[in-house]
Structure 1
Amino acid sequence: MSDIPVISAVQPTTGISTDTSRLGSRANLEKAGKQFEAVFVGMMMKSMRQAHLASDLFESKGLDTFREMQDQKVAQSMADTAPLGIGKAMVDFLAKAQAQTATAAEADAGHAGGTPS
């Protein structure tokens, strides 16, 4: 006989967490909103850089890397100090959806434990 264990079912990892416990805190939602806004602003800045409105005279791979790092810091700073409002809108939407889900769950629990009419 072989000493190799048999695995009956292997579920592939998708990289998406199904743990929603961290959504329970408003502080976590606000942190995620700021991070989302920073990513959005970063993508917007990257898109603007790709327009190549300046001369390529002094361009190099090192300068491109430095600009990307600088853009990330600027995007994070913008999200923290002067947000566009996208992150806040996302936080408000998720908080509202979370409240509705909690209310529906409580209503279902109340109907399940109630007496039949």
Structure 2
Amino acid sequence: MTPVISPTSNIARFEASTDQEKLQQAAQAFEAIFVRNMIGAMRSASLGDDLLGNSATDQFRTMMDDEVADHIAEQKGFGIADILVAQWKDKI
């Protein structure tokens, strides 16, 4: 005999998984922002002016830094997102 699963239990499980996914996305976004700010702080501590630098170079460098920060967060480079998920998963 196949077990009977009520529709409400499926909905509750779906909602819980979406909350967990939202938590994971928010934690990953936080880690990306943290890494982006860290990269920006490192860039501002330059030792001198760039010989070929201009405003366009700075803009593209910022865009590249944003992509690097997002990639690091996606690859769980620092593990900040994992720590946040572990701390908050029981509270949602």
RMSD: 1.9
Identity of aligned residues (%): 33
Aligned residue number for residue 21 of structure 1: none
Aligned residue number for residue 50 of structure 1: 44
For structure 2, which runs of at least 5 residues remain unmatched after alignment?
Answer: 1-17
Larger radius of gyration: 1
TM-score by length of 2: 0.73
Structure 1 position 91 matched with structure 2 position 90: no
Residues 26 and 95, structure 1, Cα contact 8 Å, conserved in 2: yes
TM-score by length of 1: 0.59
Aligned residue number for residue 59 of structure 1: 53
For structure 1, which runs of at least 5 residues remain unmatched after alignment?
Answer: 1-23, 100-117
Higher relative contact order (CA 8 A, sep 6+): 2
Quote the Cα distance in structure 2 between the aligned partners of 1:91 and 1:36.
11
After the TM superposition, which segments of 4 or more aligned residues of structure 1 sit over 4 Å from their partners? none
Aligned residues: 76
Aligned residue number for residue 32 of structure 1: 26
Q: How does 1:16-31 map to 2 (within 5 A)?
A: 25-31=19-25
